[in-house]
Amino acid sequence: MAVGDEQRLITPISQRQFELYALSLERGPNFDPAQIFGSYQAGRGSASGCILLDPEGGTFTTLALRRRVDHRWVRVEEGGPLPTPEAALDHLSISMRAGEPPEPLPPGARRRPLLVKTGSRGTSPEFDLLTSTISHLPALMALGECYLALPNPDANFVTDLQTNNFPSRLFELYLLACFREQGLIVRQEHVSPDFLIENDDAACWIEAVTANSETPRSGGIGDWVHAPVDRNERMTGAPAERFAKTLRGKLQRNYHELDHVKGMPFALAIADFHESGSMVWSREALPTYLYGLRADVEGEGVRRRAIGTRINNLTGKHGIPAGLFRDPEFAHLSAVIFSNAATLAKFNRMGFLAGWRPPGLTMTRRGILYDRTPGALEPIDFNLPVDSADYQALWPWGEAWCQELEVFHNPQATRPTPFDLIPGATHWFESGGDVECRTMWANSVISSITHLRMAGEPEKTSGARSESERP
């Protein structure tokens, strides 16, 4: 086959791979009521597209994307309706313009820096793991598409991602994927807050922050740090104080007083990277601090039940008041968004599921799920290959970006964040003095670890820092 013929060749790709590309669309890979019938790319990936089926009319439409000179995806053509998938594929093949040069930059547009071109500041061990190991190629591909999908990253984004701000920038990419996956419009038209998300008539400003230790190498590749043995220390001690200091530090910047934020809901998004391993166990300290309620268990046998015990102060060395949401000074804070999945493990799984599978690489995810059986207080164990049918069957559409996303709503918020603005998240809210949750997922992962194995090599844990897995 001649080189020119290879570049013009149209080949099928998985729907999940196209959905990663489609994160660059304003509302991501959401085409309701149409459904993706088939996905394709041209040659070496310079063009991509899909055929959409209208389930009511039985007709087909096409959507063609092409790379710009800075590798970003742009929509170049929509066609149809067409009567048959064959006619749609013929039309898509033409509109993808396989073999032609990349699309030019719009006038005045800034060329986006290459993600893997390093500068004088060097690289972190986490970035090296991402870019130099075959076992993390799926993560590199998924992360790269999320970076290209960012509407307007700041000038330091790539340098930060390559160095000691790796976790903070990874968290921003994760949030972008979560929001676009759910069909939200994501804007980055101001230096801060980081994102404005919109859906129909609802909107919310979001500033992302990570809970780190005082050292610049916090939470990275290193020895696994286990949870405090004492349950009260784990829930109300140093982990809770770390969340408290991080959130209060951000709130002191008074984002809600900025002209473009005034009068709108405002939320902080937080992830914990303070130690290697901390994401697996620190999460329960966050709602304890936010609501000033410690989750306890009372009764024996079938009468055991969870109760919320009100606390006034955290038990760490600083004695920080508990109950951020009880403080009227912070009524401008609509919600706190949290996830323990902003990790290389998550990006590695999503890239692997999209089809980037180096020969000999296998992934297994082991962890615990919420048991939603009435009265159940213990989680459900799972240990499944990531590419297995049983693993994908845990959720209606397989693993999604937003399944570990949680929104803790401030009951005193002056401008609440609507639940349906972020429909794929698990929402926590006060009701009758208790904290309850609402979610669309029957199976919610509490924590997990992703194990990787290359053929002929010993098994290892994916990634660099901690999470419900290590990244």
330 and 212 housed in the same domain = yes
How confident is the prediction for the chain on average, in pLDDT?
Answer: 89
Q: Assess whether pLDDT exceeds 70 at residue 470.
A: no
321 and 407 housed in the same domain = yes
Structural domains in the chain (count): 2
What average pLDDT does this structure show over 35-59? 95
Per-residue pLDDT band at 211 (split at 50, 70, 90): confident
70 and 130 housed in the same domain = no
Sheet with 361-369, edge to edge strand ranges: 380-385, 361-369, 445-454, 460-461
Q: Which range (148-162, 234-248, 372-386, 389-403) has the least confidence?
A: 372-386
Q: Assess whether pLDDT exceeds 80 at residue 92.
A: yes
pLDDT at 471: 30
- Asked whether residue 48 is assigned to any structural domain, the reply reads yes
- Asked whether residue 133 is assigned to any structural domain, the reply reads yes
285 and 350 housed in the same domain = yes
pLDDT at 464: 37
- Asked whether residue 108 is assigned to any structural domain, the reply reads no
Phi, psi angle pair for 80, to nearest 5°: 115, 180
Q: Which residues are CB-neighbours of 225 under 8 A, at least 6 positions away?
A: 275, 276, 277, 278, 466
Per-residue pLDDT band at 270 (split at 50, 70, 90): very high
Q: What gap in Å lies between CA 95 and CA 81, rounded to an integer? A: 14
Q: Assess whether pLDDT exceeds 60 at residue 412.
A: yes
In order of 193, 463, 465, the CA distances from 460 in angstroms are: 37, 9, 13
82 and 130 housed in the same domain = no
69 and 214 housed in the same domain = no
Which residue, of 43, 75, 95, is where some domain finishes? 95
Q: What gap in Å lies between CA 262 and CA 275, rounded to an integer? A: 35
Range of the domain at 29: 3-95
Q: What percent of the chain has pLDDT over 70?
A: 87
Q: Assess whether pLDDT exceeds 90 at residue 396.
A: yes
Q: Assess whether pLDDT exceeds 80 at residue 49.
A: yes
83 and 167 housed in the same domain = no
- Asked whether residue 13 is assigned to any structural domain, the reply reads yes
- Asked whether residue 105 is assigned to any structural domain, the reply reads no
142 and 287 housed in the same domain = yes
SS (H, E, C) the chain: CCHHHHHHCEEEECHHHHHHHHHHCCCCCCCCCCEEEEEEEECCCCEEEEEEECCCCCCEEEEEEEEECCCCEEEEEEEEEECCHHHHHHHHHHHCCCCCCCECCCCCCCCCCCCCCCCCCCCCHHHHHHHHCHHHHHHHHHHHHHHHHCCCCCCCHHHHHHCCCHHHHHHHHHHHHHHHHCCCEEECCCCCCCEEEEECCEEEEEEEEEECCCCCCCCCCCCCCCCCCCHHHHHHCHHHHHHHHHHHHHHCCCHHHCCCCCCCCEEEEEEECCCCCHHHCCCCHHHHHHHCEEEEEECCHHHCEEEEEECCECCCCCCCECCHHHCHHHCCCCEEEECCCCCHHHHHHHHHHHCCCCCCEEEEEEEEECCCCCCCCCCEEEEEECCCHHHHCCCECECCHHHHCEEEECCCCCCCCCHHHCCCCEEEEEECCEEEEECCCCCCEEEEEEEEEECCCCCEECCCCCCCCCC
129 and 85 housed in the same domain = no
- Asked whether residue 161 is assigned to any structural domain, the reply reads yes
What average pLDDT does this structure show over 426-443? 91
Phi, psi angle pair for 105, to nearest 5°: -70, 145
Q: Which range (173-187, 190-204, 266-280) has the least confidence?
A: 266-280
Please tell me which residue, 431 or 307, carries the higher pLDDT value: 431
- Asked whether residue 114 is assigned to any structural domain, the reply reads no
pLDDT at 462: 62
48 and 127 housed in the same domain = no
127 and 89 housed in the same domain = no
Which residue, of 42, 75, 95, is where some domain finishes? 95
Which residue, of 54, 80, 95, is where some domain finishes? 95
pLDDT digits (tens, 9 = 90+) for 123-133: 999 999 999 99
Per-residue pLDDT band at 370 (split at 50, 70, 90): confident
Per-residue pLDDT band at 256 (split at 50, 70, 90): very high
Q: What gap in Å lies between CA 117 and CA 239, rounded to an integer? A: 36
pLDDT at 455: 85
59 and 154 housed in the same domain = no
- Asked whether residue 106 is assigned to any structural domain, the reply reads no
